[in-house]
Structure formats: structure tokens, C-alpha cells
Structure 1
Amino acid sequence: MNVGDTVFVLMSAALVMLMTPGLALFYGGMVRSKNILGTLMQSFIILGIVTLEWVLWGYTMAFGPDHAGIIGGMDWFGLKGVGMEPSPHYGTTIPHLAFMIFQCMFAIITPALITGAFAERMKFSAFLLFILIWATVVYNPLAHWVWGVGGWMGKMGALDFAGGTVVHISSGVSALAAAIILGRRLGWGETAYIPHNVPMTITGAALLWFGWFGFNAGSALSGNGLAANAFVVTHVASAVAALSWTFMEWVHRGKPTTLGAASGAVAGLVAITPGSGFVGPLSAIVIGGLGGVICYGGILLKSRLGYDDSLDVVGIHGLGGTWGALATGLFASIAVNPAGRDGLFFGNPGQLWIQFISVAATVAYAFVLTWVILEVIDVLIGLRVSAEEEVRGMDISLHNETGYNL
């Protein structure tokens, strides 16, 4: 074991953990004041419920001994055999527990991303049941497909350094299914839903940007040159995407906004995630710049297509993750990571096709399973709060408290 690598991975895990409270602030500032606590609560409680799920059966399903390339076995149920010795497969210079807890933070934030799509209208009981089932039957198999030893996507050669398919595409398409099934908020299309606290959202975006260094650089599982590359391209892509989104908004709407700059920064972080360990800084400029433009266009689609994705999860994470995964097939280079593959622009057009297959499979699996999960929950206990509760706000109706006493 290497002490430096162990410290690096544990600190990266702490940074990724901070992303979920950061996401809570990012989302919380964009909802109406009567729903601030309900929105914060959704992200915060996921820290509890997914951690428990991960320790008991999630980790072994995602990373346990392979079964047919589809799922990990129950050999590590309750973390049996997952101890302080190096993992036989994952991060051989760090304790197995360090790898487990690092991946736990990924499992936490992924379903938290989906909550932005159904903000301000989902029952808390239905929400808890949805998160638990979704983490089990959607996230865990996807993580095994891509990152588990023997997973079929990984064996196919799909490149996803830190979660373009596993985290962002899965949450983005699941968010689309949730927005469609739950329906629009009362007054959607007639009432302007103005963010109640943009400074809170900016703070949340800054925490996400900060934590994302652990997300991407930490995925190297060692304090080495690859981690440094992932750190640099993550920052570059986010910075450029913030600029490109701001410029597009300025041209399209006539004025740049702070909310747009924050959204652009997150879009860049999403776009660079799958390729952060495979592409260089100049490629990151292109990936981030186009990521800001593509995601800005994506949020304009929801009004035209008629679905109420409250906080733009589909446009930013769904489209941003898709672009990032495909861009990895364009810009990946073994000069950056000898363990990876060259992309189209470096002489290997087949990698782009592999990336496309991985995107298509993730989209189909996550969308269909999420749709089924939500339909079943709706039949069992109902998904949506009553019209009266929605008008009163989630804070009072579901939690009997208010965020502000003004």
C-alpha cells in the first residue's frame, strides 16, 4: 500500500461527498422559497439512504465478483471481506475500504442529480422508495457494466473515466422519465418560476466545481500524473463552458446572467467527466466550449417539447453527459493515458462507435427501468403531492417547517 495514494483517495472521497450538499444549494436556490427545505432535504437524506444501501448490498452488486458481465455477486454483502488490505482488483495501492467509500460518494450524488427534474411536487415517501430502488436496479448494474472487473461495457472498450454514462447520462434520462410521469407543476407555462435565491445557487455551483476535482482527479486512484491531467482538464472545461454558455445567453436573450454562468460551469464539468483521464487541455477547451453551447440549447427544448424538467437536469446532465461520452471517442489519446485508447482524431474511428453503443445502452436501460419503477410506486403509494400541498409548498406540507422567517 502507498500512504500518499491512500490519503489522496480519501481526500477525493471527502470532496465528492461535499458535492451533494453543494448540489442541494445549487438546486435549492432555483426553487421558490416555499420549497427550499424540501429541496435541500432530498439531497441531504440521500447521504443516509444510499450509504446504507451501498454498505449492505450496493457495493457488492456494483464491484463484486462478476456474473456474466452484468452484475456483481453477493460475495461482499455487508462489506464482508472488504477491509484494510489492498483490493485484489481496484486501486491496488490503497485499502479496499478506501476504494469502497470513494465509490460510495458517486453512488450518492447520482440519484441526487435526478431530484432537480421533479422538484417542488414529489411526495417524500415516494421519493425515498424511488431512490432506494433506483440505486439498486439502475445505478449498481450500470456501475458494474463500466467499472466492475468483467463488466460488459468495460470489456467492450468503452471509456468512462469518472462517470459520463454511469452518473450523468443515467441521471439525465431518468430525470426525463420522471418529469414526464409526474407531470408539470401547477401553473407551468403560465407562471414565471423565478429562482428565490441566486446567490445560494452560485455558492452551490462553486462547491460543485471544487468537489469535482475529487470526482475526476480522484478517479485516477493515485496521486500521479494522470490525476494532475484530470484536475487540469476538469478546470479548463468548466471555465470555458461558463464562458460559452454566458456568450450564447447574451446573444440569445440580450443579457448575460449569473445563473447562466453557474449553469455553464456545471455543464462543462459534466461534459469533461468521461474523458478527464483520456484527453488533454486543448481537447478540454473544445469539449467544454461545445458543452456549454449544447447544454444551453438543451434547456430551450423543454418548453418546446412540453415536459417540466424543473431544474434542467435533462439539458445539463443528459445532453452534457452524452456529448462528453461521444467527445471521448473523438479526443481520447493514449499519449494522455496508455491504459486507454485513441479516439477518432487520433486514428481510431472504432472508439467513437464503441462510445455510441455505451451511450445508447445506458439511455435505454436507465429510461425504461426508471419509467417502470415510477409507475409501480405510483400504483402503490402515489407519486405526487396533492394540489393543495403543492400550492402551500413542500416545506410546510411535507416537513412542517419553513426555510425563512421574514
Structure 2
Amino acid sequence: MAPAITLAAEAPTLSAANTGFMLICSALVLIMTPGLAFFYGGMVRVKSTLNMLMMSFISIGIVTILWVLYGFSMAFGTDSGSIIGWDSDWVGLSNIGLTDLWPGYTIPIFVFMVFQMMFAIITPALISGALADRVKFTAWALFVALWATVVYFPVAHWVWGTGGWAFELGVIDFAGGTAVHINAGAAALGVILVIGKRVGFKKDPMRPHSLPLVMLGAGLLWFGWFGFNAGSWLGNDDGVGALMFVNTQVATAAAMLAWLIYEKIRHGAFTTLGAASGAVAGLVAITPSGGAVSPLGAIAVGVIAGVLCAMAVGLKYKLGYDDSLDVVGVHLVGGVVGSLLIGLFASGHGQSEVEGLFYGGGMTQFWKQCAGVFAVLAYSLVASAILAFLIDKTIGMRVSEDVEVAGIDQAEHAETAYDFSGAGGGYDRTSAVPAPVADTGKKVDA
């Protein structure tokens, strides 16, 4: 008998279909940041609306440039010590060929780069919701640049970069439960512990000024999240991307319903804010787990996340930390829940053969998930608090009490979100801009 001949596997070739799909997914992820801006912008009071929008939009500008200059290289370059990546050929994207493929896939490096850029953009923007009403815009812009460099780029390498310690350990994070949501939620907690509470916290009413904007933002987030999640498989040749798409819809619907039922039982009403928040909680929780669980598992993930996140948003009043728009309660808690539930509900029939406890796989994957979750949480919390402390002690992190009470939009942006002085007419750039509120330097006690 002639000896068997082993044929070498064919190298991947560029796929126009997968390339086009990933470019569409990249655009969907980008639209999530304006969606987040609307979601947060509707939740604040009128006097902070523009500032909230700008805190998201400035992330698009800053992180885009940093990602091109060195962020992509730090996150996905050649591993160094399982902590950080680096590839000098990727600095400034100057030595990447137009048809050079991302290793092991059928899409160009440029396409993978821009898809991951959109993740890097929205992650610091998520933090902004916890800091509403009280942070200087220049301080926020500096924080975004430093945080992306010191926290996001390294953590992205840990979780997704070849050689990153969490990646090599086998921590499952399909699309960002640890790298995006736990990372941002822990950072938000770290910063608010440094800068303190808003004037009037737990005393003055701080209700959302525009629930229609909140619902619009939630809808855009839900829409864009299909690109965020399904696109993270970098193609759909084996159906895993389709599974993630289905699970994204299923878990989000389940979480929204669970939040509303909890809210009705606890507070006596079904609110639009609850529907929007529940949907986002479901999106967050399914982000790490959707490629590993079945659609029935996705329902369980959504229900658990919806209830636990609804319970968690009230902790700020009991524990005394001022998380303005519930970034900790939704993104940190939702990210932790979704990441840990992989250890229970992983079916072994999705992105990998890993099985969770309820499918006969024991607790092995659960402990791996714990390692990834709590390492990212601790690092982001501490590093973010240090960055906020250093900025506060140099250029100052907070606006003065007078500015905060009068309205941060006028002081920081010389604009207001709504003009009630007259109806109709366009904006005349030659007209006098209202003078911003003077910053007296009077600080708010933390």
C-alpha cells in the first residue's frame, strides 16, 4: 500500500463577501457611539445635554488617531510577556499592504484594523455616562487619550491578542464583555470615587429630560450591536456569526422583558427608561457569551442580566457613589454576569467545544472566566482612579460648583441644546454667542 500523502492546508484567500460584510459591521459599530450619545444625552438634565453628546463624539476623534498611530500595534501586534503587543510595521499603518490578510482569515488587515478601531472608540465613551454634569471637557479629552493608551489597548491585547494571557488561558469573550464593558464599568467606578458626587445628589430631582432621545439612542445601540457582535467572528462561513446574531436579538428581548417585569413588581410601573435600560443590559450580557450558548441559553442570560442589572442600579443610593447614568449597574454588572454565565451555559456547539457546568463540562471554564473578569475589573478600576487623580491634581477634573449648578453646556461649549426664545430660523454663526458662566474656582466637596 502506498504511504498516505498529507496535503498542506490551503492558505486563506481574500473573500469579497466577508470583506464587504466586515466593512458593513464596522459602520454599524461606529453608529453605536452616536447612539450612545443620544441614549446618555436624553438621560441627563437639559443643561448638560450637549456636554453629554460631546463626551461621546470627542472619543471618535481622539481614539481614531491614537489607534492609527500606535493603538492597533499595542493591542494586536507581536506579543511581549503576554501583557502587550507591538509591531513597528503597524505604527501609523505605514507598512501594511492593501491585500495583506489578517492571519487565518479571509479579510484584509485594514478591515480588521478598522473594525477593532470602532470597539476602541466606544469603550471610553461608555465611561462618560457615569461622570455627567461635572467634568471639564479638556480634562475628559485628556482622560480619554490616557485611558485608551494605559488601559484599553493593553486589555484588548490580553483578551484578543495572540499571546495575551487571557487569550492563552482560554477566557471566552466573543465581542467585549471583559475588554469593553467590564473595562469601562470598572473605569467609571474608579473615576467617580475620585471626583465625587454631583451637587444635589440624593436631594435634587435629576430625571431624564428627554425619554424619546433615550429610546432613540437605545434603538440605535440595538441596531448597531448586530455588527458589534456578529461581526466579531470575522465572517460567517461556519454559521457562528449567524448564531451570535440570533442570540443578540433573543437575549436583548429577554432582558428587556425581565427588567420591565421586575420594575413593575418593585415600583409599580413599566417605564420607557426601564425598557431602554433592560435592552442595553441584555446587549451587554450577551456580548461575551453569545457565541458559546444556544438560543435557549441566550434567553437565560438575558433574563438573569435584566433582573440583576435592574437591582444593581439602585446600589448607588445605598452605597453612596454617584454613577450618574448607571454605567456601573448596567455595563459592569452586565459584563460580569454575561462573562461568568459562559461557565454555566456554554453548549459546546458554538464558537468552540467548551461546555459549561449545565452541559457536563464542570467548573473549569467558570474559573477561567473568573480570572479574566476580576483581573480586568481590578486593573481598570485602579488604573482609572490613578489617572483621574493625576488629572485632578494637575489641570483639575471638575468644573466649579457655580458652573455645575448653572449648566455645564454654557460654560464648556457656549451653546444650549434647545432654543426656546423663538420658533424657526437657522443658526447664525455671526450672532453673539452667550457668555459662558464664569468659573469661580469654587470646588465641590467629594
TM-score (norm 1): 0.98
Choose from 117, 126, 137 the match for 2:139. 126
Between the aligned partners of 1:381 and 1:251, the Cα distance in structure 2 is 46
Choose from 380, 384, 387 the match for 1:366. 380
Tell me the equivalent position of 1:265. Answer: 279
User: Aligned to 1:309, what secondary structure does the other structure show?
Assistant: coil
Match status 1:141 vs 2:151: no
Q: For 1:85-128, what per-residue CA distance to the aligned partner results, in whole angstroms no more than 9, with x for missing partners? A: 24353x62001000000000000000000000001100011101
Instruction: Tell me if structure 1 keeps the 8 A contact 2:102–2:112.
Output: no
Q: For 1:309-364, what per-residue CA distance to the aligned partner results, in whole angstroms no more than 9, with x for missing partners? A: 000000000000000000111111321223x5222222222000000011110111
User: Aligned to 1:336, what secondary structure does the other structure show?
Assistant: coil
2:106 alignment partner AA: T
Instruction: Tell me if structure 2 keeps the 8 A contact 1:172–1:314.
Output: yes
Contiguous gaps of at least 5 residues in structure 1: none
Tell me the equivalent position of 1:187. Answer: 200
Between the aligned partners of 1:67 and 1:80, the Cα distance in structure 2 is 21
Between the aligned partners of 2:122 and 2:179, the Cα distance in structure 1 is 11
Q: For 1:108-151, what per-residue CA distance to the aligned partner results, in whole angstroms no more than 9, with x for missing partners? A: 00000000000110001110110000000100011000100111
Between the aligned partners of 1:205 and 1:117, the Cα distance in structure 2 is 17
2:325 alignment partner AA: L
Tell me the equivalent position of 1:175. Answer: 188
1:36 alignment partner AA: T
Choose from 168, 175, 178 the match for 1:165. 178
Structure with larger RCO (C-alpha < 8 A, sep 6+): 1
Instruction: Tell me if structure 2 keeps the 8 A contact 1:86–1:92.
Output: no
Between the aligned partners of 1:380 and 1:151, the Cα distance in structure 2 is 34
2:17 alignment partner AA: G
User: CA offset at residue 74 of structure 1?
Assistant: 4.0
Instruction: Tell me if structure 2 keeps the 8 A contact 1:34–1:403.
Output: yes
User: Aligned to 2:310, what secondary structure does the other structure show?
Assistant: helix
User: CA offset at residue 180 of structure 1?
Assistant: 1.4
Between the aligned partners of 2:112 and 2:86, the Cα distance in structure 1 is 18
Between the aligned partners of 1:156 and 1:5, the Cα distance in structure 2 is 29
Instruction: Tell me if structure 1 keeps the 8 A contact 2:409–2:415.
Output: yes
Instruction: Tell me if structure 1 keeps the 8 A contact 2:102–2:108.
Output: no
Decide which moves more: 110-119 or 217-226: 217-226
Decide which moves more: 326-335 or 312-321: 326-335
User: CA offset at residue 81 of structure 1?
Assistant: 2.7
Structure 1 segment 106-255 matched on structure 2, within 5 A? 106-224=119-237, 225-255=239-269
User: Aligned to 1:66, what secondary structure does the other structure show?
Assistant: strand
User: Aligned to 2:125, what secondary structure does the other structure show?
Assistant: helix
Tell me the equivalent position of 1:314. Answer: 328
Between the aligned partners of 1:187 and 1:248, the Cα distance in structure 2 is 28
Tell me the equivalent position of 1:384. Answer: 398
Q: For 1:354-398, what per-residue CA distance to the aligned partner results, in whole angstroms no more than 9, with x for missing partners? A: 000111101111011001111111111010000111112111010
Tell me the equivalent position of 1:329. Answer: 343
Match status 1:350 vs 2:364: yes
Tell me the equivalent position of 1:69. Answer: 82
Instruction: Tell me if structure 2 keeps the 8 A contact 1:86–1:93.
Output: no
Between the aligned partners of 2:243 and 2:102, the Cα distance in structure 1 is 26
User: Aligned to 2:129, what secondary structure does the other structure show?
Assistant: coil
TM-score (norm 2): 0.89
Structure 1 segment 87-102 matched on structure 2, within 5 A? 87-89=101-103, 92-102=105-115
User: CA offset at residue 278 of structure 1?
Assistant: 1.2
2:213 alignment partner AA: M
Between the aligned partners of 1:346 and 1:171, the Cα distance in structure 2 is 31
1:194 alignment partner AA: R
User: Aligned to 1:230, what secondary structure does the other structure show?
Assistant: helix
User: CA offset at residue 83 of structure 1?
Assistant: 3.3
Instruction: Tell me if structure 2 keeps the 8 A contact 1:13–1:102.
Output: yes
Tell me the equivalent position of 1:288. Answer: 302
Between the aligned partners of 1:88 and 1:310, the Cα distance in structure 2 is 40
Match status 1:404 vs 2:418: yes
**Coordinate RMSD, CA, aligned:** 1.0
Between the aligned partners of 1:57 and 1:341, the Cα distance in structure 2 is 34
1:182 alignment partner AA: I
1:366 alignment partner AA: S
Instruction: Tell me if structure 1 keeps the 8 A contact 2:37–2:57.
Output: yes
Percent of aligned positions that are identical: 53
User: Aligned to 1:274, what secondary structure does the other structure show?
Assistant: helix
Aligned residues between the structures: 404
1:377 alignment partner AA: I
Between the aligned partners of 1:385 and 1:161, the Cα distance in structure 2 is 38
Instruction: Tell me if structure 1 keeps the 8 A contact 2:32–2:224.
Output: yes
Between the aligned partners of 2:163 and 2:354, the Cα distance in structure 1 is 18
